[in-house]
Amino acid sequence: MISREFRILFWVLCIHLAGIYLFTKGFLLNRLALPDRSVDACTSLATHKRAVLLVIDALRFDFIAEHPPEPASPFHHNILTLPRELTAAHPDRSFIFNAHSDPPTTTLQRLKGITTGSLPTFVDAGENFGGSSIHEDSIIHQLNAAGRKIAFAGDDTWLALFPDGFQPNMTFAFDSFNVEDLHTVDQGVIDNLLPLMRHHKNSWHFAIGHGLGVDHAGHRVGPDHPVLREKLEQMNTLLRDVVAAMDDDTLLIMLGDHGMDKMGNHGGDNILETMSALWIYSKVPLSLPEHTIPEAILPVITFPDTPVPHRHVQQIDLVPTISLLLGLPIPFNNLGTVIPELFNRDSDGSSLQKAMELNAAQIRRYLDAYRSSSSGKELDAAWHDFSLAWDGVHAMDGNDRLIALDNFTRLALSACRILWAQFNVFLMGAGLAVIGLSIVAGWALYSKLRDVADVEWEKWVDDKVWWSFSASAVGSALGYLAHIVLHKYLDGVAMHQTVLFAAAIVSSFVMIATTRPVITLKAIKSLPIFLILHTLCFASNSFTVWEDHIVLFFLISSIVPSVITGFTAPTSRLRFRILGFSALFAICVRLMAMSTVCREEQHPYCTVTFYASESSSAPPLTALLLAFPVAIAVPLVVRRILKISKSDSGLAATFIPLLFAPSLIAGTMFWMLEWVDSAQVLGDMGDTLRVTRTVLARTTAVTMLIGGLSVWWTSPACLAISKSQTSEASTQEKAEVTVLGFANAFGSPYLMFWLIFFSIMWLMTQLSGQIVLGLSSIALLSYLEIIDSVRDVHSLNNAFTSPNASLQLADTNPNHDLLFSEIVPLALLAMHMYHSTGHQSTFSSIQWKSAFILGKTLSFPFSHVSIAINTFGSFFLGALAVPLIVLWNLPPIPLSPSRPRPNALRAALAISLYFAVLAFGAAACAAVLRRHLMVWKIFAPRYLGAGFGLWAVDVGVLVGVGVGVGRVGEEIGRVFGRVRN
């Protein structure tokens, strides 16, 4: 039977999901893709019958630049040299460009850009793991419409975008997400593309080759590694073979779909991620260098740390350029501008002018069609500028006309980049309203549950569950009716969204109304200052950027009241316990802070220590040296803490040494083998190490999730019970029962439950993160001892100041009123764990290696779950640990075993409230600052992080209180029976 705590927490989770979904749908919208197709082709500008598009994934511009950054890297500079050699020898037929890749810099979105000429939206980044096919006009569609045959070899992402776009007998696709495999895709391109060019050149018109080795090398070992040098050398050889196989009728376009950052990752808008390489080569002249082009339409840009600027284009400029060079219509949704150098063929500039006029006319048709669409009002603000720029084109001649044409096309691009960040205010407001009301409802439950009598709490919670879900059903019906009546006024709001909003709002209102919380001055004064300050941080981009440092300060400061209590403790034992464990807590937290991953905005005031360097994804030497000692030490520390209350017996005596300790060692061994394989410490061992560590990871996960949970569920108690006979003076024998672990009968079995999930998180975390997890577990246990001792101090002080001191001291009831301030350090510890395990609120900090822990290739759902655990597992663990604040050092007498359950429920509601307030603050600030320059770089990712973090917390308390606490209560009740006051 599902427990009542599970049902009420499930309701809280559903309300949070509804609010975050509604806000997200209003905040992150997809661009409208028009279905129109261009039909008018201009063959007079065509120069080639065939083209080869060679995509070298993650090929950054400086990898092919003639003047690389200083100092040059021996691993990725001056290696892929053929483009610059041919450009120096034949400037009329070879052109190198620094191409801007619009963020998000993920492969699927960039392929959309270089085939359609359109722009991605922020939400598109999430589609990289499962993109849908492209239906809008593209160069692939135009080629097929013209009867041209397309051959393909390489990254299978192309097949997801264009499932029917290629000739079946000339399609050779390979898995794109096996980051461990550096060679299969590249070799597949070499083995299939070159024979097509050498022996079957009349059977195709457009050939695509997409290699992944450079990208995978960057993800796996970073750009400063010999492996990347080997891949670039291989690509240079491939280019030489392609050039040798070309004839005069073939055009070669080589590009990187995006760049890579210093760590070898991509996905964001870092300048190293958006500056990609582009090289266009023909064996016949494309340009007449003696004919000058106005410098105003030839922008240049300087790559970081390079001595000279270089020619700069937009990556989507490829679309109109290739279309005209092949005699195809420019795709209808294109916003790119033709590259002038490739049409500079006439002394009077007529070819260039014609190309730019065709390009501008196509963009004008697109803008007109878009304005006539359902989303046309998005362009109203910029339409006046468009009209002026278009009128300016017709008033100019000669070079001025070229400049005016370029100005119009670039104005359209820049305006659309801004305007397509459109927001649905209805949905954003609805989401904020739902999240805000969920906070009020959660607070009402948390505060009122404290005042409910022990014997009544179960009925009280059952009533709230019935009312909440009944109100949701009524709200759904009202929402359905409201949408039918008001749908004309709800622009962009779907039926299911109205129903969801109404269900969540009505349910929350009913929960608040039936709970009837009382707002007092004491309640207002007790508002946690750290939560308020933490939430206000999201209103500032600087505070958001440096949140990891702010959380550290808040976390250390949050235990200051406990330290003050320690100095005033009435006994030396309590004083030493509080101060000693506070010092241990602070030391662990400070050591955790030594593990850092820096945001781009934090440079130069931040140094990466989570990895070996900023340009490497390998673990640092300290992590390699300390990982195994920490894996061995953590189980020993746990047993030592349990020994204080003599709770190291029963399940703990077998679970910790036989299951928990080996699982940590196995998790560390996995990442050691990954490092040995990546660094090739033992040379190239093929798939031996890959298979070994995959088997190790799967065995560990199955053992802990199935074996560990089964053992724990069967007998979770950490008790040792013995009986003996004693004789009294009356010669009567009396049975004496000794129970070791009695003082922590509730806390110790729940800790075993928590350790099972801790071991899974350990497996999913890299070596530096494992050391952080070890320190966080010690910090958690220290904090539990601090809270327990502080409660003892308060109890003694109350007893000493009471007129009935003897009765107060004789009272064995250990129940204490849970304070919200006791939850705050645990919530901050979860946040600190998130940052210290190598994460920030940026896409580039996602540790993609974790997707391949349980398998060699990307596989649903294991890869996705692994990434989720690696990224947000710290929030789950923090929420899962919350019941320990109530259960720790709690004996079963004189309470009934069910008594900890309402307090555990209150603790769960408290930490859910903390993260719900953070999510509300992040969402509200993102909404208010939605036109801020840094919204997509700082505020939007932080909101997404807050949303996912809240979900992880809600799931954590659902598992912890809904499952773990209930099972512990059942087992303790079975062992001791029900003992009442």
For residue 235, what pLDDT is reported?
96
Q: Which alpha helices (DSSP H) does 680-708 contain, by range?
A: 688-702
CA angle 96-99-100, nearest 5°? 170
Kindly tell me if the per-residue pLDDT of 1 is higher than 70: no
For residue 128, what pLDDT is reported?
42
Is residue 179 a contact partner of residue 122, using CB atoms and an 8 Å limit? no
Average pLDDT over residues 370-390: 85
Kindly tell me if the per-residue pLDDT of 130 is higher than 50: no
Q: Give residue-wise pLDDT tens across range 491-525.
A: 778 899 999 999 999 999 999 999 887 777 666 66
Question: Which band of pLDDT confidence, cut at 50, 70 and 90, is reported for residue 959?
Answer: very high
Is residue 463 a contact partner of residue 514, using CB atoms and an 8 Å limit? yes
Average pLDDT over residues 123-141: 68
Is residue 239 a contact partner of residue 254, using CB atoms and an 8 Å limit? yes
Kindly tell me if the per-residue pLDDT of 149 is higher than 60: yes
- Answer left, alpha or beta for residue 683, where phi above 0 means left and psi between -120 and 50 means alpha: left
For residue 838, what pLDDT is reported?
94
> What Rg do the C-alpha atoms of the chain give, in angstroms?
32
Least confident of 116-130, 323-337, 343-357, 451-465: 116-130
Q: Give residue-wise pLDDT tens across range 332-341.
A: 999 999 999 9
* Portion of the chain with pLDDT greater than 70, in percent: 92
Kindly tell me if the per-residue pLDDT of 684 is higher than 50: yes
Backbone angles phi, psi at 280, to 5 degrees: -120, 130
Question: Which band of pLDDT confidence, cut at 50, 70 and 90, is reported for residue 679?
Answer: confident
Kindly tell me if the per-residue pLDDT of 640 is higher than 80: yes
What contacts 864, CB < 8 A, 6 or more positions away? Answer: 129, 851
- Beta-carbon neighbour count of residue 344 at 10 Å? 21
Question: Which band of pLDDT confidence, cut at 50, 70 and 90, is reported for residue 681?
Answer: confident
For residue 896, what pLDDT is reported?
47
Least confident of 107-111, 585-589, 796-800: 796-800
Q: Give residue-wise pLDDT tens across range 176-208.
A: 777 778 889 999 999 999 999 999 989 999 999
Is residue 444 a contact partner of residue 511, using CB atoms and an 8 Å limit? yes
Backbone angles phi, psi at 956, to 5 degrees: -60, -45
Helix, strand or coil for residue 153?
A: strand
Euclidean distance between CA atoms 34 and 51, whole angstroms: 27
Q: Give residue-wise pLDDT tens across range 227-275.
A: 999 999 999 999 999 999 999 999 999 999 999 988 888 887 789 999 9
Higher-confidence position of 134 and 736: 134
Kindly tell me if the per-residue pLDDT of 422 is higher than 90: no
For residue 167, what pLDDT is reported?
94
The mean pLDDT of the chain is: 89
Kindly tell me if the per-residue pLDDT of 123 is higher than 60: no
> What residues are paired with 739 via a beta bridge?
721
Higher-confidence position of 645 and 771: 771
**DSSP string computed for 481-520:** HHHHHHTTTSTT--HHHHHHHHHHHHHHHHHHHHH-----
Average pLDDT over residues 49-59: 96
Torsion over CA: 493, 499, 504, 509 (sign): positive
Euclidean distance between CA atoms 612 and 623, whole angstroms: 9
Q: What is the 3-state secondary structure (H, E, C) of 418-457?
A: HHCCCCCHHHHHHHHHHHHHHHHHHHHHHHHHHHCCCCCH
**CA-based nearest residue to 137, from 331, 403, 294:** 331
> Is residue 104 reached through a cis peptide bond, with omega within 30 degrees of 0 on the bond before it?
yes
Average pLDDT over residues 478-489: 89
Average pLDDT over residues 68-85: 94
Least confident of 156-165, 295-304, 846-855, 924-933: 924-933
